[in-house]
Amino acid sequence: MQLFSSLWLWKLSCKGIIRTTTGQRHLKHTHTCFRKPQHKHLQRDQLQNSEDYWERRRRTIGLKEWDHARLSDPDWVCAGSAGLDAVGIWFRECTHDREEGTQSEDLRSAMGEFKVHRVRFFDYMPSGIRALAFNQDTERMAVARMDGSVEVFHCSDRFFQEKIIPGREQCGIEGLSWVGERLFSAGLNGGITEYDLTNQKVKYTIDAYGGPIWTITGNQQGTHLAVGCEDGTVKLFEVNEDQIQFERNLDRQKSRIISLSWHPSGSKIAAGMMDMIQVFNVETGHSIHRMLADRGAGTSRSKECVVWSVVYLSDGTIITGDSVGMVKLWDDQTGTLIKSHNVTKCDVLALSVSQNEDSLVAGTSEGIVVQFQFVSMVLEKDDKEWVRTRTFRNHTHDIRAVAEITTAVVSGGMDAQLVVRPLLDKIEVRSAASALRKIHFPHRRLVSCARKSGLMLFQYPGHLELWRLGESEGKGTPGSSLFVKRNPEKLLQLKVKGEDHIRCSAVSPCGGWIVYSTASTLRLYRLHCDNNNISITKISKLPKVLSSANQLCFSSDSSHLFSASAQSSVHIASLSQSGCKFVGTLKPKSGSHQAIHLLAASEDGKWLASANSDHEVHIYNLQTQKAHCTVPVYSSAVTAMGIHPATNCLFMMHADQQMFEYSIEQKQYTDWSRTVQRKGLHRFWVERDTPCLNVMFNPQNPSHVILHDMYMLCIIDQSLPLPDDKTQFYNQLTLKSLTEEQRKSQSHAFKVCKTFKDILCVELMPDQSLVVVERPLEDIATQLPAPIKQKKFAT
């Protein structure tokens, strides 16, 4: 219902400004400095004795229940068994909330004991999913979001988010379509956009001159695109080598075209409209059939029935989903209704049919996906019927797009999560790759950290925020939270100029430079920060080559900026007080020209590694500015990598959870890496369903590698033996209960900490403290628009 009303809103707003996802409050400020008020301590003391204070504390720490025995000392709140390892890794926690920042004191020298800044003031808000398009041949899923960004997921590589094309203001995408390996989108601004997937940017946009476009679909032959426009025309575009060209209009209708579907032969098109479905002959452009969709009963009779989605099957059946909540089957020979299924009381918003046309999924605004199957009613006979079978309830909000891929049903909607629900009857072997998967966060880092100065840069689509971490005092027992001496404060909010959204951003390790890039511009700022005065100056004269970047990175001494750009090349610029100077360009010797999505510079400033979407990792020698070597290409994408400060080994994490360590100097995999590959990783490790997003090294313990994904934080101790499938993987609690000697035999290389949830970023600071940036999913859920109210049993 809520969607229905928003339809009018969109219609009105398509000429003017379309609502933005970013906050409106700071639109006028481009450079704003913030100071936090200082009365927080008072508040905290007042709250301390009240019940809700403790309750809030408990929730922020993530405890299920208080351990009442330890509550006698109000300053120390103990988080039960939150410790990471009995061997000596302790997590000292302190909470950083937007209201209530805390920080902890420095530590004794116990090995692996960390003070943790638990950061929850990054209000990252994922944008709702508007359209899905699946490419059977390349197994890529394209996802369009409400903010106009387009993402490409690799379905057979654990749904890794390979490519992100950031959106722009006023760019509401309504439809996505693959034509061969080319991706097209159309939106309410009336334009058709083709994307340059190699460089991850918009290739061109042409206007269809038919008002807002509601739908776009390409035929199976890959020759034509059809778009449905607000003015009631179906426009055919011919897909040429490098462009698309308008061919002609089909017969113009009175009302807008909401949905379109080609017959697999390409000779007919079915169009869903207000209150009716039209079938067009593509040759003549005339309408063959006009089928009327029933309006709802009772009061909804006066409302138009919107045919939200239509699917044309090769046997001539047309399936439609409409705002009355019906999935209807029509015969295109006679133009009559064959059967109708009442799926929901609200709208059926999306339909998708499987490749072999024996299964259909329908997404509704109640957040349900309903599956229909084409099964024979009498066994071993051929008279088949569409029968409603399964129901999947994985969403809380409207489902705006569904797609049935070979082995799974993918759905996305207003609640901004992409859900991959496997169809177990299509899967031969059950494995980690075939589990239910919910993708909440992008597989890129949105946070960068100035390690030396304790600054954090948060990347929002339309602005950047710079925060200074808080400080704490006192000592605590493991798992306790510390008293906050100084609250974290927001130093800066930087609004992007222009309509494009930010593609990548970085803050230099010294905290003196901030750089960000959109699709069109790259901006570099000098940050002066002495005590309470913060000033920022834009570096006006940038070298021409630094016009746009796919990925940005500073060298560890903050003297150089690396900017990944087109053709898999990396530009180097040197930074100084006077400004920015172009130094040179690093180009790979050979290979693909896919955009680089990861950069890693070595601590000693000698090496730079880059990873691109074709899974290639190139290593450059920065001193000679030449390509040093290329890591052997692995079948899965690199999700995170880092160069070890001591050994200069490149540590790579892949989407299929495999890990490699490559010695740059010796140009070969290290022995440890070979051992890992030979022995194989533990089942529990491989079955995790989110990719690792960061690789860090502990300078005090060279054998430690710190990794994190969305659900956990892991320390790999390369000096300890690897676990095999028989050993207990999550063994911290067991180890705790054992004696010193037994521990040695039981312990293995993987120490997993699941104290933190919904992690966006983990960073190790030079003072041996960890910064954990969390974004609890509950907080996201509270900021979503209200879902359709449903009567539930016993409510």
Partner 1 sequence: MNEVLSGMNVNLSYPAITTERVNRFVLCTSGDSVKVYSTRTEEWLHSLQGHTNQVTGIALNPANHLQVYSCSADGTVKLWDFIDGILIKTFIIGYPLFAIYVSEKHEGIVFLHIAMDTDSKKEGFQLVAVHLPKSAEQEVEAKELSAVSSHISPNPSCTAFGREGQYIAFARNLQLNVYFFRKQKTYSFSLKATDKKGAKNAFTCIACHPTDDCIATGHEDGKIRLWRNFIHKKEYTYSTQHWHHNAVNTLCFTPEGTNLLSGGIESVLVQWQYGTGNRKEFLPRLGGSILHVSASSDGQLFCTSHSDNKITVIESSFKVCGVIQGLVKGDAVLTDLMIDPRSKALVLNGKPGHLQFYSLLRDKHLYNLDIVQQEYIYEAGLDQFEVVKAAFDIKGYWLATVEERGQKSADLEFFLKLWSYDERTQSFVLNTTITAAHTDRIISMCFSSSEETTMLVTIAEDGQFKAWCQGVDADTKQDQNFWSCDFVGSYHNLKPTNCSFSADSSLLAVSFQEVITIWSPDTWELLTTLCQPPGVIRDLCFGRLSCSKYLISTTTRNLLCCWNLLTCALEWSTSVEVSKLQSDPLSENVAAFSYQSKHTDLFVFKPNEPRPLFTHKNVCSEKIHRAVFVPREEPLNNCDESSQWLNRSQLYFLTQNMDLLTFSTATEEDRMLSSSTRLVIDDSVAVTPFYLLLGKHRQQQQKLNTPSHQAADRPQQPQGSVTITELLHTPAHVLPPASVLCSMFVSSLLISNTGVLQDPLRKEMESSEQEMNSEKEEEDSEGEMEACDSQQELRVQGSVDEVTPKLSKAQERELKRVRKTDFSWMAGLIASKP
Interacting residue ranges for partner 1, rule: CB under 8 A = 341-343, 373, 375-380, 387-391, 425, 793
CB 89 within 8 A of CB 751: yes
The amino acid sitting at 718 is Q
Nearer to partner 1, 73 or 428 (CB): 428
Nearer to partner 1, 387 or 784 (CB): 387
* Residue 283 CA: distances (Å) to CA of 26, 256, 331, 509, 712: 53, 22, 20, 62, 57
Provide, rounded to whole angstroms, the least separation between the CB of residue 374 and partner 1: 10
CA–CA separation, 172 and 157 (whole Å) = 29
Nearer to partner 1, 221 or 391 (CB): 391
How many C-beta atoms lie closer than 10 Å to residue 593's C-beta?
A: 13
Read out DSSP for 130-181? EEEEEETTTTEEEEEETTS-EEEEETTTTTEEEEEE--BTT--EEEEEEETT
Beta strand pairing call for 114-119 and 91-96: parallel
Q: Give phi and psi for 6, each to the nearest 5.
A: -70, -20
Closest CA to 104 of 81, 84, 76: 76
Provide, rounded to whole angstroms, the least separation between the CB of residue 376 and partner 1: 8
CA–CA separation, 520 and 505 (whole Å) = 14
Provide, rounded to whole angstroms, the least separation between the CB of residue 362 and partner 1: 11
CA–CA separation, 34 and 32 (whole Å) = 7
Nearer to partner 1, 382 or 740 (CB): 382
Provide, rounded to whole angstroms, the least separation between the CB of residue 416 and partner 1: 22
How many C-beta atoms lie closer than 10 Å to residue 509's C-beta?
A: 22
Closest CA to 781 of 443, 414, 446, 364: 414
Provide, rounded to whole angstroms, the least separation between the CB of residue 363 and partner 1: 16
Read out DSSP for 354-395? -TTSSEEEEEETTSEEEEEEEEESSTT-S-EEEEEEEEEE--
Nearer to partner 1, 48 or 431 (CB): 431
Residues in the chain: 795
Nearer to partner 1, 333 or 391 (CB): 391
CB 90 within 8 A of CB 83: yes
Nearer to partner 1, 544 or 791 (CB): 791
How many C-beta atoms lie closer than 10 Å to residue 183's C-beta?
A: 25
Nearer to partner 1, 375 or 733 (CB): 375
CB 86 within 8 A of CB 730: no
Provide, rounded to whole angstroms, the least separation between the CB of residue 378 and partner 1: 5
Nearer to partner 1, 10 or 372 (CB): 372
Nearer to partner 1, 373 or 701 (CB): 373
Alpha carbon 41 to its chain centroid, in Å, reads 36
Token representation of residue 50: 């009240």
Provide, rounded to whole angstroms, the least separation between the CB of residue 344 and partner 1: 9
CA–CA separation, 126 and 642 (whole Å) = 27
Nearer to partner 1, 51 or 428 (CB): 428
Nearer to partner 1, 322 or 717 (CB): 322
Looking at the DSSP assignment, which residues form a beta bridge with residue 78?
480
How many C-beta atoms lie closer than 10 Å to residue 747's C-beta?
A: 22
Nearer to partner 1, 44 or 390 (CB): 390
Provide, rounded to whole angstroms, the least separation between the CB of residue 768 and partner 1: 40
Provide, rounded to whole angstroms, the least separation between the CB of residue 72 and partner 1: 35
Closest CA to 144 of 116, 168, 173, 164: 173
Provide, rounded to whole angstroms, the least separation between the CB of residue 395 and partner 1: 15
Radius of gyration of the chain (CA): 28
H or E, element range at 676: helix 671-679
CA–CA separation, 476 and 220 (whole Å) = 64
CA–CA separation, 782 and 107 (whole Å) = 37
Nearer to partner 1, 17 or 377 (CB): 377
* Burial classification of residue 250, based on how many CB atoms lie within 10 Å of its CB (0-12 exposed, 13-18 middle, 19 or more buried): buried
Provide, rounded to whole angstroms, the least separation between the CB of residue 330 and partner 1: 17
Provide, rounded to whole angstroms, the least separation between the CB of residue 408 and partner 1: 16
Secondary structure class of 243 (helix, strand, coil): coil
Q: Give phi and psi for 79, each to the nearest 5.
A: -100, 40
Provide, rounded to whole angstroms, the least separation between the CB of residue 377 and partner 1: 4
* Burial classification of residue 654, based on how many CB atoms lie within 10 Å of its CB (0-12 exposed, 13-18 middle, 19 or more buried): buried
DSSP 328: E
Provide, rounded to whole angstroms, the least separation between the CB of residue 375 and partner 1: 5
Question: What does the H/E/C string look like for 576-619?
Answer: CCCCEEEEEEECCCCCCCCCEEEEEECCCCCEEEEEECCCCEEE
CB 553 within 8 A of CB 496: no
CA–CA separation, 641 and 101 (whole Å) = 31
Provide, rounded to whole angstroms, the least separation between the CB of residue 92 and partner 1: 35
* Burial classification of residue 26, based on how many CB atoms lie within 10 Å of its CB (0-12 exposed, 13-18 middle, 19 or more buried): middle
DSSP 249: E
* Residue 482 CA: distances (Å) to CA of 92, 116, 469, 684: 8, 10, 14, 33
Nearer to partner 1, 137 or 425 (CB): 425
CA–CA separation, 69 and 400 (whole Å) = 50
Nearer to partner 1, 379 or 786 (CB): 379
Nearer to partner 1, 106 or 385 (CB): 385
Nearer to partner 1, 245 or 342 (CB): 342
